[in-house]
Amino acid sequence: MLFRSVIARRQIDVPALDMTTISAGGGSLAAVDGAGFLTVGPQSAGADPGPACYGRGGAQPAVTDADMVCGYLNPDYFLGGLQKLDMKASHDAIKAKIADPLKMSVLEAAAGIRRIVDMRMADEVRVFAAKRGVDLSAFTLLPFGGAGAVHAAAVAEELNMRRILVPPRPGAFSALGLLCTDVVHDYIRSELLPLAEVTPDHAEAIFQGLEAKARHELAAEGMRAEDARFLRELDMRYTGQGYELRASIDGLYEGRLDAKSMQAARDKFDERHAQIHGHAAKERPVEVVSYRLRVRVAVPKYQQRSEKPPASPRPVSGALKGKRQIYFDGRTACESAIYERDGLDVGVSISGPAVVEQFDATTIVPPGWTARVDQHRNLVLEKGA
C-alpha cells in the first residue's frame, strides 16, 4: 500500500511505502560509552572489514561476534562452509572492548549485546504497531536475511508473538522480492485549477505529455510500452480545503477524456471523500491540484509449489548434524541439536532447543518452541502453551 510521507511535519506528495528501519544488524558494533553503559549501533562494521570473526581486521565486536560466542552460529558452516569464522577473534574482541571494562564475563557481555539489539528491534516494531492499533499477538513474525532467524524468537518473545515463519531461502528473500516486483514508474504534473475550468482537451493534453515521457523512459530501459499498463489519477479537493485526495479515473473514459468522463471524475472524488471522511460536499466546487500517471510493467511472479508430506518421510535423525552448546541466557549451557534444513521433509517437526542450518541462514529454535516444515517448505516456529 502506498502512503503519503510526512517529513519534518510537512506532507510530501510522492508515492511512498510505509516503512520503518532500525539501525541494528549483524554488523552493528558494540561499545562502552562515556557513561560506562553498553551500547549497540548505530555504527556498523558492514561487510568489510565486518565483525571481528570475519578475520578482515575488524577489532570492535559486532552482534555477529556475540552470536558466535553464545553458540548460535557455527564457525565452520558460514555460507555453507565457504567462509570460516574465527571464534577466538570474537571472544578476544568482546573481552577487550566490553567484558573487561564492564567487569563481567565474556558470555555475559555477549548475551548483553544480543539482549540490547533484540530489544531495539522489538521496541521499534511495538511502536510501529501501536500507532496503527495492531495487536501483534494475532500476527506471524517473518524474519529474513542471513541473521533474521537467529534473533527472531527472542524478538517474538518480547512482542508476545507466538508464531514465526522462516521462508525457504531467507538469505535471498529480499533479492527474490526484487526480482518479482513489477516495474512501476510514477509521474506527476501539478496545476491548480477549478475542475469546472479544466476542459477535457486540456486534461488529455497533460496526460498525453506524461505518457509520452513514460514511453521514452520505458524504451530507454529496454521495455516495451505495449507491455505496460497506464493508469491515470487526479488529485482533487473541495475549494478551500488544505489537502487533496487521489481519485483514479481508470475506466471512466475510452480513448480520450470527454465531458462525461470529467463529470465521472468529480463523482469519483465525492465518493472517495465520503469513504475516507464519512461525508461529501457535492454542492461545493472542486479543484484539480495534480495530474498523476502510474505506469506498471508486470514481471513473472514466483509460484509457490505446494508439496504433500512424502509417504515415507526421511527420519528427522537423518538431518541431525550433531549437537552444540548454546547459552540462551549468557550463563547456562544448553545442549542443542543441529539440523540441516534441506534434510527435513515436508510435515516433520522438531522441538527446541535446536539449530537449523542452511547455506544462507541459521534458524534458532529456543526451548519451549517447535519448528515444522509446511507444505511450501517454510519453517514455521510456534511457541508452546
> What residue spans of 169-223 are helical by DSSP H?
173-179, 200-220
Residue type (1 letter), 224: R
Q: What is the CA radius of gyration of the chain?
A: 27
Q: What are phi and psi of 342, to 5 degrees?
A: -65, -10
Looking at every residue in the chain, the average pLDDT score rounds to 89
Q: If you ran DSSP here, which 8-state letter would residue 46 be given?
A: T
138/308 Cα distance (integer angstroms): 27
| pTM of the full structure | 0.76
Q: What is the per-residue pLDDT for 141? A: 94
Give the confidence band of 5 by pLDDT, cuts at 50, 70, 90: low
Q: How far apart are the first and last CA of the chain?
A: 35
318/300 Cα distance (integer angstroms): 36
Give the confidence band of 2 by pLDDT, cuts at 50, 70, 90: very low
Give the confidence band of 42 by pLDDT, cuts at 50, 70, 90: confident
Give the confidence band of 385 by pLDDT, cuts at 50, 70, 90: low
Look at residues 45, 60, 58 and name the one whose alpha carbon lies nearest to residue 95. Answer: 60
Find the helix or strand (DSSP H, E) in which 337 lies: strand 334-340
pLDDT, average across residues 220-239: 93
Distance of CA 171 to the CA centre of its chain: 12
Q: What is the pLDDT of residues 43-80, one digit of tens each?
A: 888 888 889 999 888 889 999 999 999 999 999 888 88
> In terms of pLDDT, which residue wins out, 81 or 148?
148
Look at residues 341, 316, 378, 370 and name the one whose alpha carbon lies nearest to residue 74. Answer: 341
Give the confidence band of 205 by pLDDT, cuts at 50, 70, 90: very high
Q: What is the pLDDT of residues 237-273, one digit of tens each?
A: 999 888 889 999 988 888 899 999 999 999 999 999 9
Q: For residue 7, is pLDDT > 90?
A: no
23/117 Cα distance (integer angstroms): 9
Degrees to nearest 5, angle at CA 107 with 104 and 113 = 85
* Contact between residue 356 and residue 379 where contact means Cβ atoms under 8 Å apart: yes
